[in-house]
Every structure is written in structure tokens, then in C-alpha cells.
Structure 1
Amino acid sequence: MGETTTIKTDDGQFSAYVARPSRSKAPAIVVIQEIFGVNAVMRGVCDELAAAGFLAVCPDLFWRIEPGIDITDQSEAEWKKAFELYNAFDVDAGVKDIAATIDHVRGLPESTGKVGAVGFCLGGLLAFLTATRTDSDASVSFYGVGIEKNLVEADKLGHPLLMHIAEQDQFVPKEAQALIISQLKNHPQIAIHTYPGRDHAFARIGGENYDASDAKLANGRTLAFFKQHLEA
């Protein structure tokens, strides 16, 4: 069971969900939300990372619009609300908030100082930008939306990035996927895995497109990646 903490920035302060591992000192992972806020799915991701030995923190990135968003993907009204939030969201400000979260976590006494990031959907784009714009030690992007519009940012990448791409992603057209892969596949810091037959959010437990087998595969690759780059 996690807890809530407050992260302060020059623009104001926002809350974050924190899940702690059993060990007293651990590397940390910033969990970057989908368009549904810091909800049960994101808290569950944090709890699973904590069980695997990481200090996991999920910041409320919608705080500038409406603090405390916690909705699901189970109703039409919630989807409408989620897309309203998505359309109002300032990506650049969000990355700055992630950077502030990384700085906050890195300075905690229970942190080893190594901090990674993992994001899903909107968070998948933000994880890519976190890898290029912050000092995250290792980042993972799950089915990020809009990455193809930001590929030039890869030139700034200084730390490892792992990407999971759903081949039937309804929000990332085949042309966009092809562009992402062709532009990034030979980058020395980037590893890309594609998942045939999978649609967007195939790793979201309880979601319409959830696939237990490929979710387990992607999550296993993610955990191995973090162990390699954050525990060395």
C-alpha cells in the first residue's frame, strides 16, 4: 500500500503516489500516467515495481488543469473527460514536472540516486521526452502517442531508452510506427520491441485491449532493463 507525497516546483506544487520497496535503499522509477490520471492502474504499476525492489513514484501531471484526476477507461463519460484533459495538457510543462519529480526522488535518503522513468500512452510520449530532455538514467516508453512528431529529439538522448510498440495501435498509424522504427532502430541507446496483433494499451490490466501474455513479456523486458541500468 502506497502513500502520497508533495513535490514543489517554481510553478507550484503537486502530489505524487509513492510505493516503497522492502529494502531501505533502492533505485527509483518515476511512473508516468496515462490520460486517466493517477488511477488504480498507475498505482498498481507502482506497487508492482516496489515489490520488485524499486522506489516507485507517480506524479499528478494533470495538476495544472485539475488536481487529483483518478478515472478509468470503463465508461464513455470517463473517456470524454480523459480526452478533454489530454487536449488541454501542456506537454512541455509536463516534462518539466517529471524532471522536478526526478530531482525530488534522487535526493531522497532512501534513494540510491539512480532514477528511471516508465510511461504509458500519453506517458509513453512523455517517457521518450524524459529520455531526451532530463537526466533520467533509463527510460521506458509503452505505446507512446505522437513520438513520430518528436524524433529529432533523439539527437539529445544520453541514456538508455526501451520502447514497446503495438503493431495494431489505433492511435499510432502504421506510417508513424515505420517512421519511428526506421529513424531510431540504429540508435546506440535505443532498443525497440514490437508486438504483432496488439492494439494500444495492451498492458493495461482490465482494459479492452489487455493481453496477458504480451503484457507479461513487455513488463519482464522492462524490469530486466531497469535492473541492468539502475542497479549497476
Structure 2
Amino acid sequence: MLIRPPEYVDLNTSFGPMRTHLFRPSSDRLVPAVVLYSEIYQMTGPIARTAALLAGWGYLVAVPEVYHEFEPAGTSLNYDTEGTQRGNNLKTTKQLASYDEDAAAVIDFLCQDAQCNGRLGTLGICLGGHLAYRAALDPRIVATACLYATDIHQHSLGAGLNDDSLARISEIQGELLFVWGRQDPHIPLEGRQMIYQALVSANRNFAWHEFNGQHAFMRDEGHRYDPAIAKIVYAMIEELFSRLLR
């Protein structure tokens, strides 16, 4: 499906306006919507290409800037040492309440958008995987894909490094897809096992896939990109969203 040129909207939050990038299919019919959460670098080329891919599949895609209260609207961080340090510092400077308010704001916006059919999913990568997981605490999210989600096992999202993401796992009502890399140092085996056991104990509806890949194997820039794995993962995401959102 063809897509429209990207646009954006600035959503109001109590922590300041949140620039949210929109990718829309060129369709006159109602379509499902997906919240796409970026890595710590915000709206980069790889994230924009992922958003365009989802829009081409027929989804209205919203990409919120997760550090909107700290960076000027439209800021993307570089995939280098400075950008990584900045992104990681902001990840634990931002208040957990701000992350959650951001999710509510973008979900509210999509539910009211004239093109949305009322069915919502979310996809997140790295930091975004954790944010997608937290967005799934909202019952309006019926399908969630978390790609190598960081910090869930360490309870270390937001200021204070004491998030309640795992403790609230039973609140998630939609279906979950988790994708991990076995060679990812950010989420070691023990961390993955902790998350898996929490999901089983809470009797959540989820799928779990581990690949021989490093962190960021989905990002189509850099030496860790694995296009063969990425192709498989995108197919799993498309199956999840198509089955639950259409």
C-alpha cells in the first residue's frame, strides 16, 4: 500500500508538548493504529523506515519522541558514543510517570483520529520494547511486540531505578510477542528467564522467540544488523498485528 508523506503533531502532556511523528497509509478506509516506540535515539533513519514499513502494511503509525521534555522537538541522537551516553542518561532521568502519561496521550490521540478503526497495537525496540510493554498495561492495546526490551528485568526504567513493570504484568490483557538476542549483553539469560517466568506465572497470552543475535540486530545500520533474522521478525509482527487488529 502507498503511504502519505510523514507528518507530525505535538501532543500536550503535563511534562511539555510531545512531538509525535505520523505515518499514514494512502487509504480512505479506516485502518488499525500502531504506536511505535524508538530506541534511546528517538526518530532516526531506521525507525522512520520501520514506521514507513508498518504504514505500507496498512497501519496508522505514531512515533512519539520519548525525551520531549529534555530535547528540542525533532531531535534525533546519533548512533555514536555521545548519542548513546545522552540517550542512556535521559532514560533514567525522565520520570516514570512521564513515560506513562506519554503513552496515554498518544493512545488517546489515535483513538480519536478520524482514520483509526479503534484497534490499537504497539511495537517497541530496545528502550521502546519496555515502553511498548508498559503501554500494554492500557486495555486499549490488544497486540504488543517487544524487541529486545531493556531494563524490565532490572526494574530500572525512569528516575529512581525502581519501576513496577514486572509487578504489574497481570494487568496486561492483550497478546504479547517477545523477541530476544541470545548474544545481547543488555538482557542476559537470567534476565530473560525472570521475564519468562513472570509471564507464565501471570498466565499471560504471549509468544517468545530467541535468536542468535546481538543487541540491535533489527537496526538496518551498523555491524550488528542481521537482515535474515529481521525478515523473520517482521513476518511475526505482521502476523500478530494482522490477526488481532484487522
- TM-score with structure 2 length normalisation? 0.87
Aligned to 2:216: 201
Identify, as 1 or 2, the structure richer in helix: 1
Aligned to 2:19: 15
Match for 2:78 among 67, 72, 83?
72
Aligned to 2:135: 130
Conserved? CA contact 2:170–2:204, under 8 Å: no
Aligned to 2:8: 4
5 Å-filtered alignment, 1:175-194, equals 175-185=190-200, 187-194=203-210
- Which ranges of structure 1 fall in alignment gaps of 5 or more residues? none
- Paired amino acid for 2:198: Q
Work out the number of aligned pairs and report it.
229
Aligned to 2:95: 90
**Could you report, residue by residue, the CA deviation over 1:52-81 in whole angstroms, capped at 9, with x for unpaired residues?**
1111110111011213321231x2222222
Aligned to 1:210: 225
- TM-score with structure 1 length normalisation? 0.92
Taking the aligned partners of 1:14 and 1:179, their CA distance within structure 2 comes to 33
- Which ranges of structure 2 fall in alignment gaps of 5 or more residues? 156-164
Q: Percent identity?
A: 26
Give the Å deviation of 1:82.
Answer: 2.1
Conserved? CA contact 1:39–1:69, under 8 Å: no
1:45 aligns with 2:50: yes
Taking the aligned partners of 1:123 and 1:101, their CA distance within structure 2 comes to 14
Taking the aligned partners of 1:215 and 1:222, their CA distance within structure 2 comes to 10
- Paired amino acid for 1:2: P
